[in-house]
Amino acid sequence: MRRLFAVLLAVMFVWTLPAGRALGQAAGVKVIVNGVEVSLPAPAVFSGGQVMAPISGLFEPMGAIAAYYESDRSIVVSNRVRTTLRMRLGDPTLHVNGTARPLPIAPSLQGSQVYVPAQAVFSALGAWTKFEDADRTLYVSSQIRSLTTLVVADALQVRVDATGPVQVETNVLSSPDRLVVDFLHAALRTQERELSINGAGVTRIRTAQFQIKPYVSRMVFDLAQPVEVRVTTSTTSYLVTLEVRPKGQVTSTGGPPAEPRDPSQAAAAKIMGVKFEESGQAGRLVIEGTNTMEYKVREFVYPDRLAIDIQNAVFIPIKQEFAVDGPSIVSIRAAQFTADPPITRVVVILKRKMNYLVSQSDGRLRIEINAYTGRGHIVALDPGHGGRDPGAVGPTGLRESDAVLDIALRVRELLQRDGIRVVMVRETDATVELPDRPRLAREAGATIFVSLHANAHARTAVNGSETYYLTPQSLALAQMIQDELGIVLGIPSRGIKTANFVVLRDSGIPSVLVEAAFISHADDEAHLRDATFRQRIAQAIHKGINRFLAIYPSPVAP
C-alpha cells in the first residue's frame, strides 16, 4: 500500500514536532486568522519577505482544510465554495482551480512539517493579509466583496458575500433609530457605500470600514420604524443574509418630530430573568425585562456561542446559569456584566454555529436559535458483517457484528435528532453481501457513506482506532471522524489510512471505513462491551459527520 501522510486543518490537538530553522533565522512568528491566533505544531518563520507556516491547523479559521499527499509530494487546500489549491514540494507554482500562478517561495518539508508561503495561499483563498514586522504577526481576514439588497413583501433582504467566514454583531440604537451590523475581522471591498432603500422600515443603508486593526466592516440601517432582524449564515458558501422586517405599522411622517431621547438620562431597565424554550432542533431564548431594551448580539467561536449585551440594564437575579444539553445548545448563563454603565450579558453556548432571529415586544427580548439540520443530506451507515458473518471475535467472545450494529444505531439516533436523514445498510443481525452495501447507499440517494467496524490483529497487543478512505473527496471526512475519535476514546489514535476496500471504491460519494477499536485486544474488547464507551464512539462519529456536512453540504435539497 502506498503510504500517504495526511494533515487536515481541523486538528483539535497540537503536535509537538520540531520546527525546521532552515527557512529563516527568526522564529516565533504569530499567525492570526479572522481574530483567532492559530495554534501551529511548529513555529512559522519569516523568510525572503514571506511568512512560511506549517499547514496543520493553519487554514481552519478561514473555513478551509489542507492535506499533504506523501505519494506525490503534493499539498491540497480546499474550502466550502470548492476553491481548490494544489502545490508540490519544491515547485514555486500554485494551481488555483487548475490555473497556474507563481508562488514567491516553493513549499518545503522541514522535519515532519510541510511549510507553505502563507500570504500567497491565503490570498488565493480570497483573504486579506498583512505582515506586521513590529509585532512579528501575520494578520489574515476575510473580505466582503459584494452586497445586494431586495425588498420583498415588506421585508428587506441584504445578501453579504464574503471570501471566508465572518462573525456578525447586531446592535439596535436610538436617537435616531438605527440598526448597526458589524462584520468582525472582515475587510470591506464593495464599491457602493450608501444605498437608498425606503422600504421595510429602512430608509437607507450606509457602509464603511469602521475599524482597521482588527478589521471591522459596518453597515448602518437608518430606520423609519422599529424592526427585527434575522441573521442567516449559509453552510454552502460564505454568504450572510440579513432579513429586516418592521415590527409595527409604518410610522406616520405627519406632525412634529418627537423630542430626541438622551439614553444617559433614561432609567436603567430591570432584567427579571432568562428562560429557554426548547423546540425540536433549536429553541427560543426569552429575556424578561421591564421596558424596551437596547441590545447588542455578538458571535464568538472556539467554542461557538452568542453573547447578548443589554445596554443600561440591571440583572435582578444577579446570576443565572443552567444546562440545556439539547441537540443544538449546551448551556446558558446570564449575569451583570458591568456596573457603570450597567450592562447585562446573556451567553448561549452552542454545539455548532447557528442562525438566529432577534425580536422584541411586551418587555421581552426573544432570540430564536435555529439549528443547522444538514438539510439535503442522507447519511448511509453500514454496520460491518452481520448474519452468517460475525466478523472478528474478541478474546471473551464479543462479536464484531454485534458491537458495530449497536454503535451504528446510536449514531443514527444522534443524526436523526439533528434532522439528518439516515439510511441503514442493515439494522438487524442480517447478512448483506459486500457489493450490495455501497449499492444500497447509492440507491437510497446517500450523500456520504460510513462503514463501521472493529479491528483485529494477529498481534493481540495492537490496539487503538483508525479510519480508512480511498478517494480525495473522502479525505476530509476520514480525518474529521478520526480527530473526534482520538479526542474522546482514551485509546491510541492510529490516524487515517488508505485502502482499496470495496465499500470505499464503489460508492461514488465521500466514503470512509471506521475501525473504532481492536476487538482482538483484551482491553479494547472490554471497552467495546461497555455501553458508555460505545456511546462515546457514536458521539465522536456523529460530530465528525456533522463537521464534514457543514463544510461540504449537499447542493440538492430533499
Angle at 171 between CA 287 and CA 220, to 5 degrees: 155
* Total count of residues recorded for the chain: 558
Task: Round to whole Å and give the CA distance between 27 and 40.
Answer: 12
Element (H, E) at 547: helix 531-551
CA dihedral 425, 431, 435, 436 (to 10 degrees): -50
Beta bridge partners of 114: 109
Ranges of H-type helices in 69-223: 118-124
- C-alpha 160/C-alpha 219 separation (Å) is 10
State the Rg of the chain over Cα. Answer: 26
CA-based torsion, 43, 49, 55, 61: positive or negative: positive
- For residues 50 and 118, what is the distance between their CA atoms, to the nearest angstrom? 7
Contacts of 338 (CB under 8 A, 6+ apart): none
Out of 60, 299, 466, 515, the active site residue is 515
Any catalytic annotation for residue 515? yes
Cell 490483529 belongs to which residue? 457
Find out whether 19 and 27 touch, Cβ atoms under 8 Å. yes
Looking at residue 489, the DSSP 8-state letter turns out to be S
510 grid coordinates: 465521500
Residues known to be catalytic: 515
